[in-house]
Structure 1
């Protein structure tokens, strides 16, 4: 009997020493994917990337052709129009791109900074500098394919690290990919370059702004009057980076089409305003009124110090003519304050009382 009790105690002790039945057992390692099996993931090569974009371009041939026609119409109009139109669109585009990248620079602050290098204590100097860079690149100068590192005009702090790849090397690799995609239409190639920006290691604080400005210049590289193709005037839908290549290119085409429509409508408005303003100032003497009209065409927002510098007229003459233009319904003051006032063209003629 004692032996039986001892045997039972040993059995209970053995059972208690085992792991509880409700705990999960050790996890088995996941099997390694066989790189030779179909569907195994691999890093796409240069030819694979270009082939994807070529396939997307072929699938969207009709929308791309319509967009190219719209861009050609904008190009022709800007080629025949005054230089101020291009500058005005560049300022508006740079301000809109700032909202997309998170800088949120108001057009009046950007205009003051570009024209006079004036800023307020609340302004983000780095954001203003980036926006001013965008305005300069969108108004002229050598394009990115003539030397991307020079086009960007920045020094990457990572170059200071021992053994780090230089910005010039990364820019050359990106440019090589763009050259390999010469079979793409410039609009589609610009979209590819924008979406490959981070993959090429060109990311930087404000990199989305740099990528967008670079792409805008590439899309218009065959244009004569348009320095850049608008991307954000109708919203930032073209710049959303998600989904497969065909979906990205479709959003790019639709977003750029909206932006070009907005640019054409704006040019319609400013052209109508310019004709109305020239008709109303015809009876005025002096060179200040026509000079102010040109400034209002070129700049979306104008202050008295800006107008003084840009027209070369005296402060008294500028203020007197601004007041006359406001009374005539040609311009309106937008700040609503006594000092540091800003004016813009009243693109819609005020309704006359009957």
Structure 2
């Protein structure tokens, strides 16, 4: 096997210089962004340039937009203690294929972030309501384990048994027993249908 990356179908970036600059603010690799009042580039715009430079550097195939989107999302959320990632609205993904002036692409990206933030806020509220209903539904389970398991799902709605054990501070056996019991109550549901490597998610409609 002389070319393992090719065998695995891995994309190769040819422009190493641009790749090294993909995390820098505006102005790299010929990219310029509109300045804000008072001079300089707004932080959101400067960090968005990382995603644009990612594509410009050829770090991913042109038809794969998730990698530059994730890169830009993480850069845009730098310094935010409560949100490590700037969300994108699902319906706004098409903006990554837009061409034209950077001002148009920047406006589309900020619109996607705004849509994503609103959707994330609604999802947080939905999970908060689910957690309240889930705790009421599991009041018959003795001890604190049910409440701990619900807290894990409220923080991360898709989890494995290992995630529950670690997040709730209980053993793997106890986690699996609690998952099976709460699943039978309809509060959560298993989504893989497999015997191994199972995943569970909250079931708001039934809690």
Q: Do these two structures clear the TM 0.5 threshold for a shared fold by scoring above it?
A: yes
Secondary structure of the residue that 2:119 maps to in structure 1?
A: helix
Residue from 109, 120, 128 that aligns with 1:263:
120
Distance 1:191 1:208, change over 3 A: same
Measured against aligned partners, the alpha-carbon deviations of 1:248-274 in whole angstroms (never above 9, x if no partner) come to: 233223322221222112111111111
Pairwise mapping of residues 101-120 of structure 1 onto structure 2 (< 5 A)? none
Secondary structure of the residue that 1:197 maps to in structure 2?
A: helix
Equivalent residue number for residue 276 of structure 1: 133
CA drift of 1:321 comes to 1.7
- Higher relative contact order by CA 8 Å / sep ≥ 6: 1 or 2? 1
Residue from 49, 59, 74 that aligns with 1:204:
59
Residue from 238, 246, 249 that aligns with 2:103:
246
CA drift of 1:347 comes to 1.7
CA drift of 1:171 comes to 4.9
- TM-score, length basis structure 2: 0.69
Equivalent residue number for residue 324 of structure 1: 181
Measured against aligned partners, the alpha-carbon deviations of 1:12-50 in whole angstroms (never above 9, x if no partner) come to: xxxxxxxxxxxxxxxxxxxxxxxxxxxxxxxxxxxxxxx
Whichever of the two has the greater Rg, that structure is: 1
> What is the root-mean-square deviation of aligned Cα atoms in Å?
3.6
Q: Distance in 1 between matches of 2:83 and 2:160?
A: 27
CA drift of 1:300 comes to 3.0
Q: Distance in 1 between matches of 2:191 and 2:66?
A: 28
Residue from 129, 138, 161 that aligns with 1:304:
161
Equivalent residue number for residue 23 of structure 1: none
Q: Distance in 2 between matches of 1:243 and 1:157?
A: 23
Equivalent residue number for residue 205 of structure 2: 348
Q: Distance in 2 between matches of 1:248 and 1:331?
A: 40
- TM-score, length basis structure 1: 0.44
Equivalent residue number for residue 177 of structure 1: 27
Unaligned runs of 5+ in 1: 1-124, 128-155
Contact 1:186 1:218 in 2 (8 A): no
Unaligned runs of 5+ in 2: 1-7
Pairwise mapping of residues 69-148 of structure 1 onto structure 2 (< 5 A)? none
